Amino acid sequence: MTKFEKFDDGKPCWFDQMVDTQKQREDFIKFYDSLFGWQAEVGPEETGYYTTIHHDGNAIFGLANHPGSTGLFTLYFATRDINASIAKAGELGAQIFMPPMQVYEHGHMALAQDPSGVTHGFWQAIEFTGFGRLFEANAPSWFDHNSQNWQAASDYYAKLLNMTIMTPHPGGAILHRGDEWIASVSQQDDAAISPHWRPVFMVPDMPATRAKAKEIGATIVVEEQQVPGSVISVIKDPVVGNLLTIM
């Protein structure tokens, strides 16, 4: 098991999922509990009932309702200087959605939309550093950016996060530092699918997880697909129809 207490600058440290209504948030809580056995901690009213999803008592992502949201995930990158990070994003062509703001005693956040149209954030920790667990069964294990211009997206994030681009196959890239792979950037040619960051969850038994997903109303979009270093399945959730990847 891999427990995290801090994150280097530029590494993914948290993600959250914003949905349109309180009912969707509640439906996602039930879906994730049934599929992965995750626990939900619902925050007080002043937080908008921001819900922290836990795996074995460790925070792994956030879930909240915000009118007009589509259920896509926002990935946050760790930083020790959020003002410098968000300024650099703007210099590289991002649209700044939210300048740095403090989130209670937890930390500072900022939001931007990259040149591909994908929202991402920065997180400068105070008391909350981000993911409690990664790279283990039923926890986040990878992060994949999907858009219609993977080359431009790769260039943006490599410059923003001080990473190197590796292209193991046509139509996609790996962002890495030295020998450490950080995230992937993939071509998404279907214009009906909004550009997005997609988390990938490791599961102990892919066939069993796919069967359980179908049983609770999800649709299997990709049964199995070989990717660099692993095999994935893609599931469409039964709440808003977004895509969820397991490996």
Question: Is the model's pLDDT at 176 over the cut of 70?
Answer: yes
Beta strands in 89-218 (DSSP E): 95-103, 107-113, 119-125, 133-134, 139-147, 164-169, 172-177, 180-187, 196-202
CATH code, domain with 73: 3.10.180.10
In angstroms, the CA 243 to CA 73 distance is: 10
What is the pLDDT confidence band of residue 149, given thresholds at 50, 70 and 90? very high
In angstroms, the CA 29 to CA 13 distance is: 21
In angstroms, the CA 208 to CA 119 distance is: 32
Whether residues 97 and 212 fall in one domain: no
pLDDT digits (tens, 9 = 90+) for 226-236: 887 789 999 99
Beta strands in the chain (DSSP E): 2-3, 12-19, 39-42, 51-55, 58-65, 73-78, 95-103, 107-113, 119-125, 133-134, 139-147, 164-169, 172-177, 180-187, 196-202, 219-227, 230-236, 243-246
pTM for the predicted model, two decimal places:
0.95
Whether residues 13 and 32 fall in one domain: yes
Residues 50-66, mean pLDDT to the nearest whole number: 94
Residues 98-111, mean pLDDT to the nearest whole number: 98
The pLDDT value given to residue 26 = 95
Residues 132-138, mean pLDDT to the nearest whole number: 93
In angstroms, the CA 195 to CA 159 distance is: 20
Question: Is the model's pLDDT at 66 over the cut of 90?
Answer: no
Question: Is the model's pLDDT at 5 over the cut of 80?
Answer: no
The pLDDT value given to residue 79 = 99
Residues 6-23, mean pLDDT to the nearest whole number: 95
What is the pLDDT confidence band of residue 2, given thresholds at 50, 70 and 90? low
Whether residues 118 and 174 fall in one domain: no
Residues 21-46, mean pLDDT to the nearest whole number: 95
- Bridge partners, 113 (sequence order): 95, 119
The pLDDT value given to residue 133 = 92
What is the pLDDT confidence band of residue 3, given thresholds at 50, 70 and 90? low
Is 11 within a domain?
Answer: yes
Task: Decide: 111 and 105 in contact? Cβ < 8 Å.
Answer: no
Residues 189-208, mean pLDDT to the nearest whole number: 92
Domain end point (choices 79, 96, 125): 125
In angstroms, the CA 162 to CA 78 distance is: 12
Whether residues 6 and 121 fall in one domain: yes
What is the pLDDT confidence band of residue 4, given thresholds at 50, 70 and 90? low
Domain end point (choices 71, 97, 125): 125
Phi–psi pair at 132, nearest 5 degrees:
-85, -30
